[in-house]
């Protein structure tokens, strides 16, 4: 493959080919149907061709185009099964691999960023990349002190490509939107655009990863590789083996799926509480399932396995952890306190002042979505995700009409996307998870207020008895 395409006109032309390709295949399929082939067979072939083109264009462009593809891939579980099949392999492929940079480009980048004698920093360096992502690729190496390391090298011109891609993709948002029913693609693209400057800054990423590595050092459930060295657009971290989460999704055992799902949910809620940071890029390519010490991959008790977490380029800074408002409103919704929930949502800006909604209708809208928090154990499935997406996306549904009137305040946008993405991955895993346990342990307001109320009532009862 040639170097990362950087000229705006080249990238724009490639991205423009996506909607044109969709239209061309629609015409092709109509011709095939007129020619006598069944609609089902033709539709399946068209979806397969669309998926192949989607991966080819997004994977080759890398940058913001691939970042969008990765963000989109975690929502494939919301697609109707007859549509999801052809897209699943192509979108999931974006999570673990992409066409690599040529070796000479990698060497040139390392010489510019680490110095002409960069090879002296390593005892070994593998030219073939171990992984390629949206703005950089990773090479396996051995640091000069003998540690196995991962060397992440940013693609030359990645910043320009990111901004250009996302600007162009926003123009096609209406055409790309139908890929995921019930989801407005344009705000997703806008939010990704707002985060790119941070993700391009490897110094910020190194700082966030060091903070996580320190807080989770020795943790029995979560492992974060520490930072070894950082210079300009190169980041060197400890190497982490393990089973990629995409592999667990495709052929993991039930025990592996449940353990991965439980730990993913735990990290989502305990991360902000322990570090003040929210890991905001929860696609499967950023996670590994690590067997217990002494056990080979695929063997041993899954209950002892840990979740390995990679890539801290995108984080949300939450010094106080997740907002207490989330725990309060979730607890009150489960308790059926419609007026109280509506009051909180209005105060936080989820319901605009100009809108007047029925609190009972809002409660009815929310309850199916938070079903996993209402029970001790919940089985996340693609079917459940599709049902939720269909309920919210069907214009004939009361949920669709009400949802259109709700607002997502900017302060909650990233939290919302990360939570929704994580749920998407849990559904891909088909994992049974004790989500309520994690909420009770880590989400401010989910139980604390209820416990305080019980203590006050007990004190009041005691005073009444004395009187």
In the chain, DSSP finds a helix count (H) and a strand count (E) of 20, 14
CB 244 within 8 A of CB 284: yes
Burial of 455 (0-12, 13-18, 19+ CB in 10 A): exposed
**Residue bearing tokens 């992409």:** 98
Which one of 165, 241, 258, 281 is the catalytic residue?
Answer: 281
Q: Catalytic residue at 281? A: yes
What is the rounded distance in angstroms from the CA atom of residue 88 to the CA atom of residue 140?
28
Distances (CA, A) of 238 to 205, 228, 272: 14, 6, 23
| Closest to 10 in 3D by CA, of 63, 51, 46, 50 | 63
| Closest to 200 in 3D by CA, of 233, 171, 177, 240 | 233
What is the rounded distance in angstroms from the CA atom of residue 70 to the CA atom of residue 104?
27
**Residue bearing tokens 């005073």:** 463
What is the rounded distance in angstroms from the CA atom of residue 35 to the CA atom of residue 336?
56
Q: Which long-range contacts (CB under 8 A, 24 or more apart) does 84-88 make?
A: 84/382, 85/44, 85/47, 86/44, 86/47, 86/48, 86/50, 86/51, 87/47, 87/50, 87/51, 87/54, 87/179
| Closest to 449 in 3D by CA, of 369, 334, 349 | 334
Distances (CA, A) of 237 to 53, 311, 324: 34, 10, 34
Query: Taking the CB of residue 157, how many other CB atoms lie within 10 A of it?
Result: 16
Give the single-character DSSP code of 138.
E
What is the rounded distance in angstroms from the CA atom of residue 66 to the CA atom of residue 54?
10
Cα 339–Cα 342–Cα 348 angle in degrees, nearest 5: 145
Tell me which residues are annotated as active site. Answer: 281
């Amino acid at each position: 493959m040639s170097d990362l395409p950087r000229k705006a006109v080249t990238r724009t032309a490639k991205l423009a080919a996506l909607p044109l390709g969709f239209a061309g295949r629609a015409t092709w399929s109509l011709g095939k149907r007129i020619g006598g082939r069944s609609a089902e067979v033709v539709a399946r072939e068209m979806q397969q061709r669309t998926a192949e083109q989607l991966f080819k264009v997004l994977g080759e462009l890398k940058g913001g185009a691939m970042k969008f593809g990765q963000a989109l891939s975690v929502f494939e579980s919301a697609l109707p099964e007859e549509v999801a099949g052809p897209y699943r392999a192509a979108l999931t492929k974006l999570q673990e691999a992409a066409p690599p940079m040529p070796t000479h480009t990698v060497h040139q980048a390392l010489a510019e960023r680490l110095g002409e004698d960069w090879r002296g920093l390593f005892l070994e360096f593998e030219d073939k990349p171990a992984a390629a992502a949206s703005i950089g690729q990773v090479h396996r190496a051995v640091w000069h002190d003998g540690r196995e390391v991962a060397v992440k090298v940013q693609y030359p011109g990645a910043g320009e490509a990111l901004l250009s891609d996302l600007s162009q993709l926003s123009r096609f948002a209406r055409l790309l939107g139908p890929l995921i029913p019930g989801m407005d693609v344009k705000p997703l693209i806008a939010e990704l655009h707002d985060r790119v400057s941070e993700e391009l800054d490897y110094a910020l990423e190194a700082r966030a990863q060091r903070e996580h590595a320190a807080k989770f050092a020795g943790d029995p459930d979560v492992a974060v590789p520490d930072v070894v060295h950082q210079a300009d657009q190169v980041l060197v971290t400890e190497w982490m083996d393990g089973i990629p989460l995409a592999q667990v999704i495709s052929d993991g055992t039930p025990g592996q799926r449940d353990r991965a799902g439980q730990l993913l949910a735990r990290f989502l809620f305990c991360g902000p509480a322990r570090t003040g940071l929210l890991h905001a890029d929860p696609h499967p390519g950023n996670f590994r399932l690590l067997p217990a010490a002494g056990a080979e991959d695929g063997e041993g008790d899954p209950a002892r396995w840990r979740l390995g977490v990679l890539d801290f380029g995108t984080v949300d800074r939450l010094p106080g952890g997740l907002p207490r408002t989330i725990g309060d409103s979730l607890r009150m919704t489960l308790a059926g306190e419609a007026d109280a929930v509506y009051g909180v949502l209005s105060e936080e800006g989820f319901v605009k002042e100009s809108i007047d909604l029925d609190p009972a209708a809002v409660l009815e809208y929310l309850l199916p979505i938070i079903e996993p928090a209402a029970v001790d154990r919940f089985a996340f499935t693609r079917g459940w995700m599709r049902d939720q997406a269909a309920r919210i996306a069907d214009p004939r549904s009361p949920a669709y009409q009400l949802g259109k009137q709700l607002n997502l305040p900017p302060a909650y946008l990233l939290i919302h996307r990360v939570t929704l993405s994580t749920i998407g991955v849990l559904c891909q895993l088909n994992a049974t998870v004790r989500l309520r346990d994690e909420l009770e342990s880590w989400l401010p307001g989910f139980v604390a207020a209820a416990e305080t109320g019980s203590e006050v009532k007990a004190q009041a009862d005691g005073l009444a008895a004395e009187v």
